[in-house]
A and B are shown apart, each in its own frame.
Chain A
Amino acid sequence: MTTAVTTTDIRTEVLSVTIDVTTVPSTAPPADLPVLSQLDVLESEAMLVIREITAELERPVLLFSGGKDSVVMLHVAAKAFWPAPIPFPVLHVDTGHNFPEVLAYRDATVERLGLRLEVASVQDWIDDGRLRERADGTRNPLQTQPLLDAIARHRFDGVFGGGRRDEEKARAKERVVSLRDDFGQWDPKNQRPELWNLFNPRHRPGEHVRVFPLSNWTELDVWRYVEREGIELPALYYTHEREVYARDGMLLAVGPWSRPRVDETVTRRRVRYRTVGDMSCTGAVESEAVTVADVVAEVAASTLTERGATRADDRISEAAMEDRKKEGYF
């Protein structure tokens, strides 16, 4: 529709305009058409991205850890291609310090959806000397090399990740489809413009793209979607009793790879995890959240970001995530 613009169309007379925020805008769709919620729109955007990249590239893969973001991404992928199976394999970079119940969940999900699972094992790299254990025992930064190696070995040209822009300030700068050079590096100062919803994953041989279908989701969106869709998650996202000790303001679980120092007291507390990663650097939060609805309420009221509350590896410096991402991290 093109009309000559008249001054009556212009509502710059704001001095006299009062806007009633409780009324439905006059241009709302006709009543018989469905109104889409923000979850509908976010889901649709993720489906658009997953379909487009899958169609344009030869060998996509989806990073699947059993963490909530990758579970949601996989759920959306299944919807995008239903009733056909998901047309790509999943890849897990296993630090060797994962929660056993999350690995069990991972395997059950792969089995249920009939997927092919590739595992890149940090432990293997340490065992054969290609990587060395860090002094602080954290294995998150060690994932980059096995990840890049798996991408090169399988010639994956598109890698779906569950990263969200609200997680972290370097991630806030990332494109939905983000180019990596032939060393797997991200160049944040020279990113491709991303226009309308025309996603462009083309690249030179040797390069690949990382693709983040959940870019525009927040932690709360993820949980509301889990609730709406009835998605099952690993049990440690909900309250349970665990032996923990406090370190750097976080509660770390006592386990084979995370031991308290002599000055740290172990207590049994009711906790849950907001993120699920390497046991040695992922903290739990005290929680009584039994159901998804409880978690939604808790997240909505939280005064800390999920990474701030639970990830030691992001506290190293202001730019810890940016530095890891430049090297090829998730």
Chain B
Amino acid sequence: MSTLLRLATAGSVDDGKSTLVGRLLHDTKSVLADQLDAVERVSRDRGLTSADLALLTDGLRAEREQGITIDVAYRYFATAHRSFVLADCPGHVQYTRNTVTGSSTADAVVLLVDARKGVLEQTRRHLAVAALMRVPHVVVAVNKIDLVDHSEDVFRSVAADVRSLAVELGIPDAHAVPVSALVGDNVVDRSTNTPWYEGPSLLELLEALAPDTDPAHESFRMPVQVVVRPQGAARSPEHVEYRGYAGQLASGSIRVGDEVVVLPSGTRTTVAGIDLGERSLDVAVAPQSVTIRLTDDVDVSRGDLLCAASDPVALRQEVQALACWLGDEPLHPGARLLVKHGSRTVLAMVRSVDGRLDLDAMRLAPADRLQLNDIGRVTVRFASPLPVEDYSTSRRGGAFLLVDPDDGRTLAAVMAGALAPGEHPG
């Protein structure tokens, strides 16, 4: 059976990120002949002697014209063991916005570092964002190893820098691999050019990573998206009385007979059945989408959260959180916005902007507003209490959006919690 792993890329300009992605696609035979023909044709037109694999990922006309990547592109490749969804995030334009977007769903971030340049300020920032987003795995591809004569010393030194940064930033799992995206060293197959390197190739490593989040290990939570109550419209007469609560398990697992709590009401009840379409399940595990039937006739609506009775979420009226601001106009304290958390949307007010996070020093700098692409600490008050967890405990339960109530724009990605990983207090 094949599993799914979600990846996001990060890198600075000219680190060769598009080339690496192109190489992964090409060497896993995920690029088909007609796509390669097109790339070769355009490369020739531009006077290049070999196919520019970066052209595989730059899909928009403006990107091709300007030779840059503008927006996150999604790519797919697969090996015998695993399918990969890769969010290819641009390095410069709207950097924070794109990287935060790409890494919010990622099980692993692949970060490129130019072997000749080593760990730069930008590398530090990329790692800091990966740490903030709590991406479970970080893989540093030390690229252009061919341009430093496949030097073991260079690689060891970069790997050591990455290691100490990862420790400092609280990244739980970090790896480094010496690669050349251009010629393919250690991307798919281990290279004879780096005989001193005994670790896995990049692809072997990606195949072996645990498909995180491990939502199945945490306590059961499921936001109710839809109440399924067919009544007279039931597709079969036996289901006229059917009443189920449909949603996707955000974390944990649930069995028939388990006791659950409905939030915000706090009502306790028991799982009578779990349906996935016409199929009945004994157990469901995150991130499955199912419909849950309950033993009691309790009041449950869209937006409610079903959670394990043994470990319910506390309701909070106000949270401190880190917000990545994505709006064109700055965020000022007092802003009245919508919060989307799980399947619930409520009115909220940003009570205060408590500072802007300096990603280089990992320290909060004084600020009374947040500009586009700033990451800062805010205090948000909800119009009605929400079961918001700490983002450090649950990536799903601790994340919410701020939305413009007038035009619906997504204005901020917010992570609840008093301190960021690696942050120096005060």
Contact = CB atoms under 8 A, between A and B. Distances in A.
Given A21-B81, A84-B230, A204-B408, A51 B198 contact: no
A36 B326 contact: no
Interface size of B as a range: 35 or more
A172 B71 CA distance: 10
Interface in A288-312: 302-305, 308-309
Nearest to A17: B199
A54 B226 CA distance: 9
A9 B246 contact: no
Contact of B71 (A18, A82, A191): A191
A255 interface: no
A42 interface: yes
B60 A170 contact: yes
A304 B73 CA distance: 21
A200 B74 contact: no
Interface in B363-414: 392-393, 395-396, 399-401, 403, 406-410, 413
B199 A303 contact: no
Interface in B264-311: 275-278, 283, 285, 287-289, 291, 302
Contacts, number: 276
B76 to A, nearest CB: 5
B3 interface: yes
B365 to A, nearest CB: 24
Interface stretch (B11-19, B108-116, B203-211, B346-354): B203-211
A15 B287 CA distance: 35
A36 B287 contact: yes
Nearest to A224: B2
A259 interface: no
Contacts of B85: 216
Nearest to A75: B277
A165 interface: yes
B207 A81 contact: no
A195 B175 contact: no
Would you list the 6 A-B pairs with minimal beta carbon distance, nearest first?
Answer: A202-B408, A308-B34, A169-B59, A79-B277, A84-B230, A12-B163
29 contacts: A11-B173, A14-B159, A14-B177, A16-B199, A19-B200, A19-B205, A21-B207, A29-B217, A29-B285, A34-B285, A38-B2, A44-B288, A47-B289, A48-B289, A80-B289, A169-B57, A169-B73, A170-B59, A171-B59, A172-B57, A193-B98, A193-B413, A195-B101, A196-B396, A200-B410, A202-B338, A216-B85, A305-B34, A318-B64
